[in-house]
Amino acid sequence: MLGPDMAAGNYDAIVVGASFGGLAVARQLRGHVLLVDRNEVGAVQTSACGTPLWVPEALGVAGSVLQVHDRLNIRTPSRTVSYDLSAVPFCTFDYKAFCQGLLAQTRARFLQAGVTGFADGAVTTTEGRFTAPVVVDCSGWRGAVVKGDAGGTPSGNYSFGLETRTDLSDEGLWFLLDRKLIPQGLGWIFPVGAGSLIGLGSYAGRSKLRPPLERLLRQEGVTAGAYHGTYFPNRLLRATVGRVFAVGDAAGQCLPLTAEGIRPALYFGSECGRIVQRVIDGQITLDAGLDAYRRLVERYRGAYRLLQRVQWLASHTPTRWFAALTALAARHPILPRWWPRYGWFGRFDRAPVPTAP
Ligand X SMILES: Cc1cc2nc3c(=O)[nH]c(=O)nc-3n(C[C@H](O)[C@H](O)[C@H](O)COP(=O)(O)OP(=O)(O)OC[C@H]3O[C@@H](n4cnc5c(N)ncnc54)[C@H](O)[C@@H]3O)c2cc1C
- CB 282, min distance to ligand X, A: 28
Give the C-alpha separation, 99 to 162, whole Å: 21
H or E segment to which residue 206 belongs:
none
Segment near ligand X (CB under 6 A), from 14-22, 69-77, 283-291, 345-353?
14-22
If one asks whether residue 142 binds ligand X (CB under 6 A), the answer comes out as yes
Residues 6+ apart with CB under 8 A from 318: none
Question: Nearest-5° angle of CA 315, CA 89, CA 324?
Answer: 35
86 near ligand X, judged by CB under 6 A: no
Single residue of 56, 187, 191, 199 touching ligand X by CB under 6 A:
199
List 9, 114, 128, 172, residue binding ligand X (CB under 6 A) = 114
Candidate residues 176, 262, 290, 307; the one interacting with ligand X per rule CB under 6 A: 262
d(CA 113, CA 144): 12
Q: In 3D, which of 345, 341, 265, 339 has the Cα closest to residue 47?
A: 265
140 near ligand X (CB under 6 A): yes
DSSP letters, 238-252, are -SEETTEEE-GGGGT
Specify the residue, 115 or 132, whose C-beta has the smaller distance to ligand X: 115
Spatial distance between the Cα atoms of 64 and 260, rounded to a whole number of angstroms: 18
Q: Which is nearer to ligand X, 82 or 112 (CB)?
A: 112
249 makes contact with ligand X (CB under 6 A): yes
Judged by CB under 6 A, which stretch of 34-42, 206-214, 234-242, 337-345 contacts ligand X?
34-42
The Cα–Cα gap between 35 and 266 comes to: 16
**Helix or strand (DSSP H, E) at 107:** none
Q: In the set 11, 14, 15, 20, which binds ligand X (CB under 6 A)?
A: 20
Binding-site string for ligand X from residue 272 to residue 311, where x marks contact by CB under 6 A and - marks none: ----------------------------------------
Q: Which is nearer to ligand X, 187 or 261 (CB)?
A: 261
Binder among 260, 267, 276, 297 for ligand X (CB under 6 A) = 260
49 touches ligand X by CB under 6 A = yes
Nearest of 295, 290, 262 to residue 276 by alpha carbon: 290
**Which C-beta is closer to ligand X: that of 51 or that of 67?**
51
Q: Pick left, alpha or beta for residue 121 (phi over 0 → left; psi -120 to 50 → alpha; otherwise beta).
A: left
Among 14, 27, 29, 46, binds ligand X (CB under 6 A): 46
Return the SS3 of 214.
helix
From the number of C-beta atoms within 10 Å of its C-beta (0-12, 13-18, 19+), residue 264 rates as: buried
- Does residue 254 bind ligand X (CB under 6 A)? yes
| Least Å from the CB of residue 112 to ligand X | 9
Enumerate the β-bridge partners of residue 15. 35, 136
Chain residues that interact with ligand X, rule: CB under 6 A:
16-22, 36-39, 44, 46-51, 114-115, 138-140, 142, 144, 149, 161, 163, 199, 229-230, 232, 248-250, 254, 259-263, 265
